[in-house]
Amino acid sequence: MTAVSQARPIASGVAGVYSQAEVALLSPHNLSLNPTATMHARCTICQDTLDEANTPMSTLCGHLYCVECAAYQFANGGVCAICRTGPYELDALIKLFPDYEHAPAERPESSTRRSRRDAPQSSRAMEAGASALRACHDALDSEDPLDPHRVRSALERTDDLVAALDGVEAPGIQNLLSNIITLLQDIRSRTSETARVPDLESQRDLLQHAARRLTERIRDLQRSRDAERETAAEELAELRQEWATRMAELQEDLEQTTSLLNIERAKVEQSRVVITELDAEAKKWETQAGRYKKKHHSLKKKHQAMEAGIQDVFFGGDESLEFI
C-alpha cells in the first residue's frame, strides 16, 4: 500500500490540498519521503499497524486510531488521547480508507504500472524542490542575503517547482513546500532587517560610547571601593584588637568573680548546715520544754491538793467547835 494511493485529496491546487488529518499522515513522522514508500502508521492507543483490515480513522487534530480504539475512545464524546483536544464524536472522525469496502481489488500489475508512471513525475518534482531549497539556502548563507542574482535564482527555482508539481501527488510535497515557505519568510524577514542596518549601526555607536563611559565609571568606582575596603580592613583590625583586649579583661574578671562566688557558696552551705543543726536542737528543746510544762502543771495540781488537805486537817472538822 503506497502513501500516494491512500491519501484522499479534497480540493485541487498547485500541489493538491489535503485535510488536516491527511496532512498529518503525510508528515515525516508517519511516512517516508520516498514517493513509493509504504506507510507504517500505527494506532495512537494500541500501536497496531494501520491498514484496510482495521479501518484507520483520524481526529481533526491529526492523530490516528484503529476502528476499535476509536469506538472505545470517542463513543461518548471523548478527547484525543495525545493532545487532549476535542471532544470528538465518533461520527465526526475522518475515515481514511472509505472506498475499501466497496471498491474492487486492484490487480498487482495495474498498481505497479501506475507507480511506474507516477514515479518520473514525482522524481522531477522532488528534484525541483531540492534545487529550490538549495537556492534559498545559498541566498540565506551568503554575505548579502539581498543579492539580486541569488534572490532571482531562488525565485526562478521556486517557479520551476510550482510548474513541476502540477498534477503530482507525493507524500513529501507538503513537507517540501512547508520548508520552502519557511525559507522565503526568512528571506523576507532578513530583507526588512537589512533596511534597519544604518539605524542599528548608529545605535551601536551610541551604545559603545555609553559602554566606554560606563567602563571608566566602573573603574573609578572599583578604585574607590578598594580604598574604602583597605580603610575598613584597618579599622576592623583595630576593633578586633580592642575587643580581644577587652574580652581578656572581662574573662579575668569573670574568673575572679566566679572564684569569689564559689567561696560565698561554700560559706552559705556551711551556714545552712549550722542552721539545720540549730533547728534540730531548737525542736529538741521545745519538746523538752513541753514535757517540763506538763510536769509543772501536774506538780501544781498536786501542791494545790496537798494545801487543801492540810487545811482540812488543821482547820476542818466539826463546825460546832469554836475557838474561844
User: 168-182: per-residue pLDDT in tens?
Assistant: 555 555 565 666 667
Domain coverage including residue 148? 122-205
Domain boundary residue, one of 146, 170, 205: 205
The Cα 45–Cα 39 span in angstroms is 18
Q: Check whether residue 143 and residue 187 sit in a common domain.
A: yes
User: pLDDT tens digits for 92-114?
Assistant: 787 775 444 444 444 444 444 44
Mean pLDDT of 283-305: 87
Total domains in the chain come to 2
Phi/psi for 302 (5° steps) reads -60, -40
| Surface-to-core class of residue 249, CB atoms within 10 Å of its CB (0-12 exposed, 13-18 middle, 19+ buried) | exposed
173 and 127 fall within a common domain = yes
Residue 4 has pLDDT above 60, yes or no: no
The dihedral region occupied by 320, where left means phi > 0, alpha psi between -120 and 50, and beta the remainder, is alpha
C-alpha cell at 258: 566566679
Identify the band that residue 39 occupies on the pLDDT scale cut at 50, 70 and 90: very low
Question: What predicted TM-score, i.e. pTM, was given to this entire model?
Answer: 0.24
When pLDDT is cut at 50, 70 and 90, the band that residue 73 belongs to is confident
Least confident of 51-55, 143-147, 245-249: 143-147
Helix (H, G, I), strand (E, B), or coil: what is residue 49?
Answer: strand
Query: Residue 15 — pLDDT band, cuts 50, 70, 90?
Result: very low
Q: For residue 20, is it within any domain?
A: no
For residue 41, name the pLDDT band (cuts at 50, 70, 90). Answer: confident
Residue 163 pLDDT greater than 50, yes or no: yes
Picking from 205, 232, 258, the residue at the C-terminal end of a domain is 205
d(CA 120, CA 110): 17
Q: At what angle do helices 173-194 and 108-141 cross, to 10 degrees?
A: 10
Residues 130 and 83 occupy one common structural domain: no
Q: How confident is the model at residue 67, as a pLDDT?
A: 84
Domain boundary among 159, 175, 205: 205
In a domain, 64, yes or no: yes
Nearest to 132 by CA among 115, 114, 152: 152
The secondary element (H helix, E strand) that includes residue 68 is helix 67-74
Extract the C-alpha cell encoding 142: 551568503
| Cis peptide, bond prior to residue 104, ω within 30 of zero | no
Please state, in angstroms and rounded to a whole number, the distance separating the CA atoms of residues 6 and 99: 10
Give domain status of residue 264, yes or no.
Answer: no
pLDDT of residue 234: 93
CB atoms within 10 A of CB 42: 14
